Chains A and B, each alone.
Chain A
Amino acid sequence: MNHWIIAPVIVPALIAALIVLSMRNQLMLQRIFSAFSTALLLAISLGLAWQAADGTITSYELGNWPAPFGIVLVLDRLSALMAVLTSVLALPVLLYAIGSEWDSRGTHFHALFQFQLMGIFGAFLTGDAFNLFVFFEVLLIASYGLMIHGGGTRRLRAGVQYVVFNLLGSTLFLFALGTLYAVTGTLNMADMAARVAEIPAAESAMLRVGAVLLLLVFAIKAALLPLHFWLPATYAEAPAPIAALFAIMTKVGAYAILRMHTLVFGPEIDITADIIGQLVLGAGLITLAIGMVGILGATGLGRMAAFAVIGSMGTLMVGMAGFTEQTTSATLYYLVHSTLAGAAMFLVVDLVRERRADDGLHPGPAMGQHGLVTALFFGAAIAVAGMPPLSGFIGKLLILDAVRDLPEVWAIWSVILVTSLIAIVGLARAGSVVFWKTETGPTGRRLRARQQPKLPLVVTCGMMGTVALLAVFAGPMSAYLDATAQQLFDREAYISAVLPEGGQP
């Protein structure tokens, strides 16, 4: 049996425990081990993606317990893609945190970072609904620690809100799982998919409740309106490298919706098909509008970046709502893009904060490396707003093209295009106020510039480079994503990979 699937969960768990237990006061050792582990995870996830690229679905039975009874991890193209995305994001974010010395402003940064990665990888790889809950909790409890890293009154209070909101989300998740278990008698996703298909429409009331409850839970994670209230304060107050890492956390919610509502409650399951798509589409359109208007209305760069994340989640959900192969492929491209672009935006905001002491939208004295930071903001803004030549434009174009056959195409097109304009106006206003005009402040204000470390700038340039590469290699990328979407809608292949005997014990 191939044991590599479990490695992305085991490696950070071991390294994190090692960091907590034996190098609690040696920051340099922590940095080395944490960076080594994250680089190793990148290599492993690339290996997993290579393994999944030919279309095989690998199921790994933990403790060798047979499938519907034990917990399984499942590797297919989608989970491999998400794992690669996580590690591609995590490595620069970690280097940024080391370079900007964010990791020394509190204790246990690296241990929590590794636990966070463990939870995210676990959530992407698991094939069991309750195990998904457990990995959600792992990534959440690590994120609570990371969110308040460095302390400070506002950050602590935003942290309380964040924790309370997510505890409610976890409770709701358990209610949803209880409901689904009561109806189907299983928690294995493949087994659940096989049984849901057999439940007659007359007895499906509980099942529909469970499906919508589950959608609500994932919508909280994905910050869909009206469940987005935790996001702006959390992302704006969290340490910037952490906010950049959190860009993948909303995508965990999007991934979970995509997984559960194609596999278990797929479009061919009549009893739930009509509600899920409509709910996701409506919520997505409103989220998109509010997110982009929020960019225009934000008073600081941090909140602006947070609303940009909300807006991109809205676009993502609008694309996802079609639940066809075409729309899913386009959505996945936008998902990869928006994760990297959102993270790059947060890193740029932090570069500004480090140089100006606050991120308010008002003119100030010229910053250190003013030209470079301005160029980076310009690039990140282009990517976030979806302007050519960066990948945001291609992503939006793919989504617009993919929804052409849906009946709601006019609503989708008009909302996406109008909100793109609003976002461009908002970002242009912020950029011109903060970067264009420079006041000649009292002499010596530029002295801070010389002490700025180099690594954060290099890392942020690297992130922007990744976004550019995503645009350059859009062709091969969307070929892979087409195959991913095709595999996602082939439910039989997934079920038979996990349950070779057909699943009925």
Chain B
Amino acid sequence: MELLFASAVGILTAAGLYLVMRQRTFPVILGISLLSYAVNLFLFASGRLAVNMPPVLLKGVEDFTDPLPQALVLTAIVISFGMTAVVVMLSLGAYLSARSDRIDLNDTEKTGDTRQ
């Protein structure tokens, strides 16, 4: 299971990084989303992987999983969700205003280029 989990985090991170380095805002936003999925999984695993364990201390239960990373992941999910919404709105605004969705600030580029 560790191998599966680790490769999932790795592949998500690699794909996210590749997309983030694209020139247009849409793939960059997708890349950021993939990276945030990767980091959520990573945070989840930072309390060690444990299956079918209760996350709270109970009397008579010896083995339990660490509840703190789950709380961290919840916080991280909420924040990254909000941030994704912000960046989508912002890049839509920039696209509608500049008629171009390239992410760099090169003044010499052709405007009116809407190819995705």
Smallest Cβ-Cβ distance to B41: which chain A residue: A178
Smallest Cβ-Cβ distance to B28: which chain A residue: A164
A159 to B45, CA, bound (A): 33
What does the 1/0 interface line of B72-93 toward A look like (CB < 8 Å)?
1001100110110011001101
A342 to B91, CA, bound (A): 29
What does the 1/0 interface line of A130-160 toward B look like (CB < 8 Å)?
1000100100010010001001111011111
Are B46 and A178 neighbours in the complex by a CB distance under 8 Å? Answer: yes
Smallest Cβ-Cβ distance to A130: which chain B residue: B72
B69 within 8 A of A: yes
A137 to B75, CA, bound (A): 11
| Least Cβ–Cβ distance between A71 and chain B, in angstroms | 11
Chain B interface mostly: helix
**Which residues in A have their C-beta under 8 angstroms from that of B93?**
148, 151, 156
List, sorted by A's number, 18 A–B pairs whose CB atoms are closer than 8 Å. A134-B79, A151-B93, A153-B98, A156-B93, A156-B94, A159-B90, A160-B90, A163-B86, A167-B80, A171-B32, A171-B39, A171-B80, A174-B39, A178-B42, A178-B46, A178-B72, A181-B46, A182-B45
Given A178-B42, A179-B46, A181-B47, are A170 and B83 neighbors across the interface (CB < 8 Å)?
yes
Are A153 and B97 neighbours in the complex by a CB distance under 8 Å? Answer: yes
Smallest Cβ-Cβ distance to A69: which chain B residue: B68
A177 to B68, CA, bound (A): 12
- Tier of interface size on chain B: 20 to 34
A464 within 8 A of B: no
A168 within 8 A of B: yes
Partner of A174, one of B32, B43, B48, B97: B43
**Which residues in A have their C-beta under 8 angstroms from that of B32?**
164, 167-168, 171
Task: List A149-208 residues whose CB lies under 8 Å from chain B.
Answer: 151-154, 156-161, 163-164, 167-168, 170-171, 174-175, 177-179, 181-182, 187
Given A157-B105, A160-B25, are A177 and B87 neighbors across the interface (CB < 8 Å)?
no
**Which residues in B have their C-beta under 8 angstroms from that of A178?**
39, 42-43, 45-46, 69, 72
Partner of A160, one of B80, B82, B103: B103
Are A156 and B97 neighbours in the complex by a CB distance under 8 Å? Answer: yes
**Which residues in B have their C-beta under 8 angstroms from that of A156?**
90, 93-94, 97-98
A72 within 8 A of B: no
What does the 1/0 interface line of A247-278 toward B look like (CB < 8 Å)?
00000000000000000000000000000000
**Which residues in B have their C-beta under 8 angstroms from that of A148?**
90, 93
Given A141-B86, A148-B90, A161-B105, are A174 and B42 neighbors across the interface (CB < 8 Å)?
yes
Are A164 and B87 neighbours in the complex by a CB distance under 8 Å? Answer: yes
- Tier of interface size on chain A: 20 to 34
Chain A interface mostly: helix
A-to-B contact residues, CB < 8 Å: 130, 134, 137, 141, 144, 148, 151-154, 156-161, 163-164, 167-168, 170-171, 174-175, 177-179, 181-182, 187, 233
Are B35 and A168 neighbours in the complex by a CB distance under 8 Å? Answer: yes
Task: List B12-41 residues whose CB lies under 8 Å from chain A.
Answer: 20, 25, 28, 32, 35-36, 38-39
**Which residues in B have their C-beta under 8 angstroms from that of A182?**
45-48
| Least Cβ–Cβ distance between B83 and chain A, in angstroms | 6
8 tightest CB-CB pairs across the interface, nearest first? A178-B46, A156-B94, A182-B46, A174-B39, A178-B43, A153-B97, A181-B46, A153-B98
Are A157 and B98 neighbours in the complex by a CB distance under 8 Å? Answer: yes
Are B97 and A161 neighbours in the complex by a CB distance under 8 Å? Answer: no
Are A233 and B94 neighbours in the complex by a CB distance under 8 Å? Answer: no
| Least Cβ–Cβ distance between A240 and chain B, in angstroms | 19
Task: List B94-116 residues whose CB lies under 8 Å from chain A.
Answer: 94, 97-98, 103-105
A161 to B79, CA, bound (A): 19
